[in-house]
Amino acid sequence: MRAFFGAALAAGLMTATMAAAASPDGRWLTESGKTQVQIAPCGSNYCGTIVWQKTPSNDENNPDASRRSRPLVGTQMLSGLAPDGNNAWKGKLYNFENGKTYTGKMELTDPNTLKLSGCVMGGVICKSQTWRRTK
């Protein structure tokens, strides 16, 4: 009986560890290798903020002219990412390269790989990127 409870406890701990590993919390390097984004909880969802750029720049493509002179470092790039299945979240993705915000999905494909897809036209046209965990 003790062996059964010990095995059940070990399985429970392994499951908890695997669930913790399935979190997108952390710092991620974008596909270009030129930007790092810190993903963290914001309320009951996840958000992502630019924390590093290889060549620091401003948000010059922002549709709001008053924000075009702000540095990209510190800008929220991912917002309102709510759970959408196993290791997946849906929300808004801001592309600072063109100043547009897309409905998108973020999926943790393994503990160190994150796939982001931004879509237009109700999901008819999508583009994806793969990000790698740095921390």
Residue 103 has pLDDT above 70, yes or no: yes
- Contact 128/113 with Cβ under 8 angstroms? no
* Size (the chain), residues: 135
pLDDT band of 79, cuts 50, 70, 90: very high
Q: Which of 19-23, 29-33, 49-53, 131-135 has the lowest mean pLDDT?
A: 19-23
pTM of the model: 0.81
Question: Token pair of 75, please?
Answer: 């800008």
User: Domains (ranges, CATH) in the chain?
Assistant: 24-133 (2.40.128.520)
